[in-house]
Amino acid sequence: MLEGFGRFCELLYRTILGAVRPPYDLKALRDQVVRVGVDSVPVVFLTTLFTGAVMALQTFNGFARFHAEAYVGSVVAISMLRELSPVLSGLMVTGRAGSAMAAELGTMRVTEQIDALVSLATDPVQYLFVPRVLAGIIVLPMLVVLGNAMGIGGGYLVAVKILGANPVIYMDNTFQYLRMNDLWSGLIKAAFFGGLLSLIGCQRGFDTEGGAEGVGRSTTTAVVIVSLAILVSDFFLTKVLF
Amino acid sequence: MGAADVTAVPAVRLTGVSKAFGGKNVLSGLDLEVPVGTSLVVLGKSGVGKSVLLKHVIGLLKPDSGRVEVGGVDIWSVSARERDQIRRRFGMSFQEGALFDSMTVGENISFPLRRHTRMSVAQVRDRVAECLELVRLPGIEAKGPSELSGGMRRRVGFARAIALKPEILLFDEPTTGLDPINTDALVRVIQKLRESLRPTAITITHDLKVAFQVADRVALLEAGRIRIDLPPADFEASDDPRVVAFVQGDSAMDEETAPLEVSG
C-alpha cells in the first residue's frame, strides 16, 4: 500500500518533469484528447441525463412529503454540478479510458515496446504518461460541463413532462440558488479526477508483469484503484472546496 | 585514466555486475569487455540470464552492484539525460521485434529520426527506405506490424535499430523460434549490417550455427558469469567440459539437468 503510494509519487514527479521539458508532443496530446474525451461523450451524455432524471423523480417523491416540490430543480442542479456530474463522469471515463490505458501500456510492457522506447533514447514516462495525463486533466472538466447540462436537462424533462411542473417556474428554481462556486468546485474535482485516472491507469499498465495474464490483472486493478481513489478523494476535495 | 588512445577504451565494459530478481542471483560478479568493432556472441542456456546481460549493457536494467561502462563512461554515474545521449549510440533489436503496434512500419523506423534529428520529411523518408533496403524488405513502409510474419517483424526491428547509424548493435535472440530459411535470411542481414556499418555488436543466442556465422568472439554465460571468451574456431575446438556439453547439447554433463538422467 505504502509502496504503491511511493511509486505513484515517483511517477507523478516524472510526469510533471516530462511535461515541462521539451520535446512537447502536441500531436500525441491531440490524439489522447480525442480518445479520452470525444470518445467518452456518449457514455457521459447518457449517464448524466438519466442521473438527472432519476434525481428529479426521487427528490420529487421525497419532497412532496413536506410540500417542498418547488425545490426539486435546485436540488437537482446543485447535486449535479457539485457532486454527481464530476464523480460519475470520472467513474465512466475510468471504465472506458483508464482501463484502456492500463491495457495498452501493459501490452507495450510485456511485448518489450517500452524497453524499445528506452533503447531509442526516449523517456517512456514523458512519451506515454504526459499526453494521457494532460488529456485527462483537460478533457474531464469539459465532459463535466456537458454532464451538468444533461443532468439539469434530464431533471427538467422528468419534472415538466412527467410530473407536470411548470416549465418556467422549474427553470427559475433551478438557477435561483446556484452559485458560481458550485460550478467551479465541480470542475476542479473533474480536473483532479482526470489526472488521477490517467496517471493510475498508466502506472498500472507501465508496471505490468507476467504476460497476457498480467495485462488483465493491471486493467482490473487500475479500474478498482481509480474508482476507490475517486470516491475517497471526492470526500476530501469536497471538504476543502466546500 | 587517460584518454590517450581512444581505440584502447572498449566500446562496452562490465565490471563485477551482479543482479538478483526476487532473491535469485542471475548475474553474479560478471566481467565482460567488448573492444570497438568486434562482434561478440554470448551463448548460454535458456533462462541463464543472457537477455538480462544485454539489458544491462544499454541501461534497461540497473545492476545491484558493479559498473557498466560505455566508451569509458559509467552509465549509472551520469544523469538520465546523459544516459539517453549514450543510448543513442546503441541500436537494439528485441526478441519479437518489439515494434510499436500503434504505428506503421515506416513510422516505426522513422521514430528515432523524428525524435532525435532535425532531418526533413524527405530525408527521413529516404533514410527509412534505405534501412528497409538493408534488411531486404523494401517498400513495406505502409504496412502495420500485425500484417508481418515473425521474421519480417524482427527485420523491421533491425531497420529501426540502425536508423540512427549506431556504433553498437545489440541483438537479443535474433533467430529464436524462426524456421531455418528465415534464420538464414536473418543471419545474412546481420552479416550485411556488419559489413556496411562496421559496428561493435553483441548478439545473444543459444543457436551455435548462428553464433559461428556472425562472431569474432564467442563467450559462454553460465551461473551468472562469462566462463569462456574465445575466437569461434578456438571455442569450437575447446575441450572445456562446459563448452563440450553446450556444443554437443549433452544434458548428462549439465549439473542442472543431470539428475534426470541418473534417476532411470
Q: Which of A23, A115, A119 sits opposite B90 (nearest CB)?
A: A119
Cα distance between residue A130 and residue A138, in whole Å: 12
Instruction: Enter the ipTM.
Output: 0.87
What are the tens digits of pLDDT across the range A173-224? Answer: 899 899 999 999 999 999 999 999 999 999 999 999 988 999 999 999 999 9
- Total count of domains within chain A: 1
- Per the domain annotation, does A217 fall within a domain? yes
3-state secondary structure of B263: coil
DSSP-H helix ranges across chain B = 50-57, 80-87, 105-116, 121-134, 150-162, 180-197, 208-214, 232-237, 241-248, 258-262
Q: Which residues contact A228 (CB under 8 A, 6 or more apart)?
A: none
Could you tell me which residues come within 8 angstroms of residue A126 by beta carbon, excluding any fewer than 6 positions away?
A14, A15, A17, A18, A19, A21
| CB contacts, 8 Å: A112 with chain B | 94-96, 98
Nearest CA in chain A to B157: A116
Q: Is residue A16 part of a domain?
A: no
Residue A121 lies in a domain: yes
List the single residue in B60, B92, B98 with the smallest CB-CB distance to A113. B98
Asked if residue A38 is part of any domain, the answer here is yes
Nearest residue of A to residue B103, measured between CA atoms: A113
Coil, strand, or helix at residue A99? helix
A interface toward B at CB cutoff 8 Å?
23, 107-108, 111-113, 115-116, 118-123
| Inside any domain, residue A152 | yes
Identify the domain containing residue A83 by its residue range.
Answer: 26-241
The CA distance from A107 to the nearest CA of chain B, in Å, is: 10
Closest to B60 (Cβ–Cβ): which among A113, A115, A122?
A115
pLDDT tens for B18-59 read 999 988 899 999 999 999 989 999 998 888 888 999 999 999
Closest chain B residue by Cα to residue A108: B100
Residue B225 has pLDDT above 80, yes or no: yes
> Is the per-residue pLDDT at A147 higher than 70?
yes
Confirm whether A155 is domain-assigned: yes
Within-domain flag for A7: no
Cell of A147: 454532464
* Three-class HEC string of B156-176: HHHHHHHCCCCCEEEEECCCC
Predicted confidence (pLDDT) per residue in B58-85, tens digit: 999 999 999 999 999 999 999 988 999 9
Whether A230 maps to a domain, the answer reads yes
